[in-house]
A and B are shown apart, each in its own frame.
Chain A
Amino acid sequence: MLRKIWKKSQISPFVIIAIIILAVIIVYFGLKPDDSNKISPEIFPLFNFVENCVQKTTGDAIYNIGETGGYFFAPDLSIDGIAYYFYEKEDYMPSKEKIEDELNKYVNNMLFFCTKNFEDFKDYEVKQEKIETKTIIEDEKVVFNIDYQLSVKKGGDSYLIEEFELEVPVRLGVIYKVVSEIMKEQMEEKEAVCISCIGELAEENDLFVDLRDYENDTIIFYVIDRNSEINEEVYVFNFANRYEK
């Protein structure tokens, strides 16, 4: 995890120069993971708390979009909270960018509920700005860049926490590609599910794809990646296809 943290009280010219030099060094060499060691002990508990919230919320976001089929809230065209990707012989699978956007929405909306307005940190004066998240789904991981500006005051000192970058090792990109292939096959044969194709795709990508007959002429697809765990659970990505009789 990478983050930036700035102390902004007791400013003197020397401090300003020092900060500038430090900033230049940081920018020049890049932000290193062991920057956490430089966090002031004063705000470490709060920082740790936010960091845990970021970890939890991003994990929850990935878990949640797995549950719904790629959405923060399941769309209207869904069954029991799972989005239809195939309905009346049309393809409704969201684009990868759309899922990234849904992950952004999840974090932007739900991170706040984790930090709970920092009510457990009465000793701190925390001013928080709007959360802006940018998510990139890669094959082997999901990268979150969270712009979460927190101005923290404690004991006369001020600190600024600005940005969190987090990589969650969930193979969502691989899963997305596999689901895309499944849907491509689906659009070629709209009456049935190509199980030999799914078998091959699952084997090639070390995934399990479990199909369950459901009500309303629906089959729920569970794409299971035992190589990816979220919240101590194997990662599952669901979607639904409906087959007209």
Chain B
Amino acid sequence: MKRSMFSILQTDMKNEMKFKIILIAVMLIVIVLIGIVSPITEKITGTEINYNERVEIDGRKFTFLSGGSLTVNYNNRNYEFSELSKVDFTENGVNIVKEPQIIFDDSGKIKEAYFITGKDGEYILGNEILNLQKGTKVIFKDGTALIQVPGEVFQAPRTADNKVGETSFTFYSDGDKGVKFGEHLIKGGLGYEQGNYFIQKQDKIELADIIISNPNHLKTYIDFEGKVNFAYKGSYISMDRNNGILVAGSNVNNPSPAIMVKKENAYGLKFDSDNDHFAFQSSGSVDGTYFKIKRSKPGIVPEMEHLNGFELNENDKSFYYDGEKEKLYYTKGKLIKDFGEAGSSMVAATLTGSFKTKNGRIESAIGDSVLGISNFNEYSFGKDKRFIRLKHYNKNPGFFTGISDLESYNYELTEQGFERITGIQLVADDSSGRSYLNDPKNMRYLYDLLFSIPLEQTKMVNRMHFASGGGNAEAGINGRTTSVYFTLGRATSSGNRLSASTWRHEMGHVVDFRGGRNRRFDRMWYDSGINNIAITSNYASDSGAERISEFIGNFAYHNQDEYERSINHLLNSNKDKDWWRAAVAVAWYNYGFTYERTGEIFSQAGLPYDVNSLYGYMRKVGIRVD
């Protein structure tokens, strides 16, 4: 490029004295003239600006013809604005056409610029340096820069030394094919401010496995950390697909954009139809709000967590937390309407963290409970996400169906799923048994039965056999293998062909045969004398070997024995009440009853059931316990 003969601070002096005076005089005249026409040249002292001859100067404004160039020295570094050309840029339907132009402020900083770069290189806008390819369109005004790169790739701006970034950039690709953001292409513009990326101008955008709806064009920061971030001054979406974490938050009084998770996703949300619909939104508050989904370990449904307000669509049903009322709500219908039609089946997940801000501190919003949501349009609160009680089976007040965070309980009610999760082999001994095991309802029933016994008891069983018959059953142990045989009759009181009480009775045998805890069951039960007192049925009365299993079978799901004596009576009014109390405690100690059921039994009698009390009941009849 041909340099101008004209320079503000550089002079080309000749030695000839005869021209010196003339030249100085001419220069003085020119300087005076420039000073009259463009006095700003004095005011941008400290900024070195070279420009070619094809330029109009109007105050601090330098307007070029296409092909014009400019060198700017800012913060002691030179930046070449080479072979600039006319910019023609369309954004959101608005077309901007401008001749190349650069405008400086008082301090010598570029405050406005319009051009297309003619060469690859570093360009400075405001306090920020950009590495731009040849052919990049730049529109910069009022602290906002629109940059259209010729390909998909751009480099994040950096600040000039000792300077603070103050420009809000938006990067586009030519033809809006999308700019690369990590491994993703962002169409409609990707913003950048002071080290943070954001989206703002898209009504709706797909990003990896989510769709973001932002019709109000709220600035929404995006990162790939998968972390809650209170530092963002606005809404944000933070995703870590490797670890299966997705967070949407808002630290201002505007909601985050709505997010819909796609069927194929990294967060463990399982959709059993293309219509399934899982969408959420954080309500926004200066106290900070967020909604988070986290993939669990294999086989477990995802966990969710929120701080303050959120809305969650579970297909055509919704949950939301009202931050002002500090309450969690359920409603039929979709609260988030941005994503069209929804299916009718919920997506299984567990709300394990529910938090609110109170007096500037974050505290639990729903106590120590978790909210379980099943794949069957069911939800319930409970303490243990593995099994949250939903409702009891007919005529079995101690036997519940529920909600579990096991994927197989929600999505794979099959023999294979059951065997994989429980380690218990299911064997169909005839066609009736096969038919029984092929029915998902029966699989759920079997899960419910297993959830009603202590884990230690579950581990004592290896095989469960099913065949037609009249409702008889037996448990057998062969060496290390424990097999239980069940016959299937007509529907029992619980509504299933397998009697819950019979199942529990046989499992009582299993605990008995396996000796309970450290093989102490028999000693605690028989040697203490409980066996001759805790007789709950005629069958138990007739056969001493059936007393433990009858005791467990009767009281696991029912509140009275076969003689219609209530638990309350036996534990409070019966002459042998101390023995009955000890019997329940011994059954609990030896994995016959869950602690939960043990608590229910004692609470029906108005008796304490903390561990010390349970030990006390046993000691009172002379049973030694550690």
In the complex, whether B31 has a CB less than 8 A from a CB of chain A is: no
Residues in B whose Cβ lies below 8 Å from that of A245: 333
Output the nearest chain B residue to A228 by Cβ-Cβ distance.
B397
Contact A194:B331 (CB < 8 A) given known A213-B317, A213-B377: no
Cα distance A197–B329 when bound, in Å?
9
Cα distance A39–B559 when bound, in Å?
32
Cα distance A47–B428 when bound, in Å?
54
Cα distance A188–B325 when bound, in Å?
10
Contact A196:B397 (CB < 8 A) given known A213-B332, A234-B392, A245-B333: no
Within B344-399, the residues touching A (CB, 8 Å) are 354, 365-367, 369, 371, 377, 379-381, 389-392, 394-395, 397-398
Contact A229:B331 (CB < 8 A) given known A189-B322, A222-B391: no
| Centre residue among B320, B322, B367, B391 by max chain A CB count within 10 A | B391
- How many interface residues does chain A have, given as a range? 20 to 34
In the complex, whether A211 has a CB less than 8 A from a CB of chain B is: yes
Cα distance A15–B333 when bound, in Å?
75
Residues in A whose Cβ lies below 8 Å from that of B398: 226
Indicate which residue in B330, B354, B379, B604 contacts A192 across the interface (CB closer than 8 Å).
B330
Shortest C-beta distance, A54 to chain B (Å), equals 20
Contact A229 B365 (CB under 8 A): no
Contact A211 B330 (CB under 8 A): yes
Output the nearest chain B residue to A222 by Cβ-Cβ distance.
B391
In the complex, whether A179 has a CB less than 8 A from a CB of chain B is: no
Cα distance A222–B378 when bound, in Å?
13
Contact B331 A192 (CB under 8 A): yes
Residues in B whose Cβ lies below 8 Å from that of A233: 394-395
Contact A196:B377 (CB < 8 A) given known A213-B317, A213-B332, A234-B392: no
Contact A199 B366 (CB under 8 A): yes
In the complex, whether A191 has a CB less than 8 A from a CB of chain B is: yes
Cα distance A185–B379 when bound, in Å?
19
| Centre residue among B317, B320, B329, B390 by max chain A CB count within 10 A | B329
Interface size on B, residues (CB 8 A): 35
Cα distance A197–B332 when bound, in Å?
17
Label chain B's interface by main secondary structure: strand
Contact B332 A199 (CB under 8 A): no
Residues in B whose Cβ lies below 8 Å from that of A200: 367
Indicate which residue in A192, A196, A211, A224 contacts B392 across the interface (CB closer than 8 Å).
A224
Output the nearest chain B residue to A206 by Cβ-Cβ distance.
B603
Output the nearest chain B residue to A193 by Cβ-Cβ distance.
B330
Contact B329 A194 (CB under 8 A): yes
Indicate which residue in B327, B333, B604 contacts A227 across the interface (CB closer than 8 Å).
B604
In the complex, whether B185 has a CB less than 8 A from a CB of chain A is: no
Shortest C-beta distance, B98 to chain A (Å), equals 51
Contact B330 A195 (CB under 8 A): yes
Label chain A's interface by main secondary structure: mixed
In the complex, whether B65 has a CB less than 8 A from a CB of chain A is: no
Shortest C-beta distance, B251 to chain A (Å), equals 24
Residues in B whose Cβ lies below 8 Å from that of A211: 330
Cα distance A229–B560 when bound, in Å?
11
Contact A192:B389 (CB < 8 A) given known A226-B397, A229-B559: no
Residues in A whose Cβ lies below 8 Å from that of B34: none
Contact B327 A197 (CB under 8 A): yes
Residues in B whose Cβ lies below 8 Å from that of A213: 317, 332, 377
Indicate which residue in A194, A197, A202, A229 contacts B397 across the interface (CB closer than 8 Å).
A229
| Centre residue among B317, B332, B559 by max chain A CB count within 10 A | B332
Cα distance A211–B389 when bound, in Å?
13
Shortest C-beta distance, B343 to chain A (Å), equals 14
Within A186-240, the residues touching B (CB, 8 Å) are 188-189, 191-197, 199-200, 202-203, 206, 208, 210-211, 213, 217, 219, 222, 224, 226-227, 229, 232-234
Cα distance A92–B128 when bound, in Å?
66
Residues in B whose Cβ lies below 8 Å from that of A222: 391
Residues in A whose Cβ lies below 8 Å from that of B365: 196
Residues in A whose Cβ lies below 8 Å from that of B449: none
In the complex, whether B328 has a CB less than 8 A from a CB of chain A is: yes
Contact B329 A193 (CB under 8 A): yes
B557-568 CB mask vs A (1 if < 8 Å, else 0) is: 001000000000
Residues in B whose Cβ lies below 8 Å from that of A229: 397, 559
Residues in B whose Cβ lies below 8 Å from that of A234: 392, 397
Residues in B whose Cβ lies below 8 Å from that of A202: 381
Contact B392 A194 (CB under 8 A): no
Contact B395 A232 (CB under 8 A): yes
In the complex, whether A6 has a CB less than 8 A from a CB of chain B is: no
Cα distance A185–B329 when bound, in Å?
11
Residues in A whose Cβ lies below 8 Å from that of B397: 226, 229, 234
Residues in B whose Cβ lies below 8 Å from that of A226: 392, 397-398, 600
Residues in A whose Cβ lies below 8 Å from that of B332: 213, 217, 219, 243
Contact B320 A192 (CB under 8 A): yes
Shortest C-beta distance, B281 to chain A (Å), equals 15
Residues in A whose Cβ lies below 8 Å from that of B389: 208
Contact A195:B328 (CB < 8 A) given known A210-B391, A224-B392, A234-B392: yes
Cα distance A188–B398 when bound, in Å?
35
| Centre residue among A188, A192, A199 by max chain B CB count within 10 A | A192
Within B302-337, the residues touching A (CB, 8 Å) are 317-320, 322, 325, 327-333
Output the nearest chain B residue to A211 by Cβ-Cβ distance.
B330
Output the nearest chain B residue to A191 by Cβ-Cβ distance.
B331
Contact A208 B330 (CB under 8 A): no
Sort A-B residue pairs by CB-CB distance and give the 7 closest, nearest first. Answer: A192-B331, A199-B381, A196-B328, A192-B329, A226-B397, A234-B397, A195-B330
- Listed by A's residue number, 21 A-B pairs whose Cβ atoms lie within 8 Å are A188-B325, A189-B322, A189-B325, A189-B327, A189-B329, A192-B318, A192-B331, A194-B329, A195-B319, A195-B329, A196-B327, A196-B365, A199-B369, A206-B603, A210-B380, A210-B391, A224-B392, A226-B398, A226-B600, A234-B397, A243-B332
List 14 additional A-B contacts (Cβ < 8 Å) besides A189-B329, A226-B392, A226-B600: A189-B325, A189-B327, A192-B320, A192-B331, A195-B319, A196-B327, A210-B380, A213-B377, A217-B332, A226-B398, A233-B394, A234-B392, A243-B333, A245-B333
Q: Chain A interface (Cβ within 8 Å of chain B)?
A: 185, 188-189, 191-197, 199-200, 202-203, 206, 208, 210-211, 213, 217, 219, 222, 224, 226-227, 229, 232-234, 243, 245
Q: Chain B interface (Cβ within 8 Å of chain A)?
A: 317-320, 322, 325, 327-333, 354, 365-367, 369, 371, 377, 379-381, 389-392, 394-395, 397-398, 559, 600, 603-604
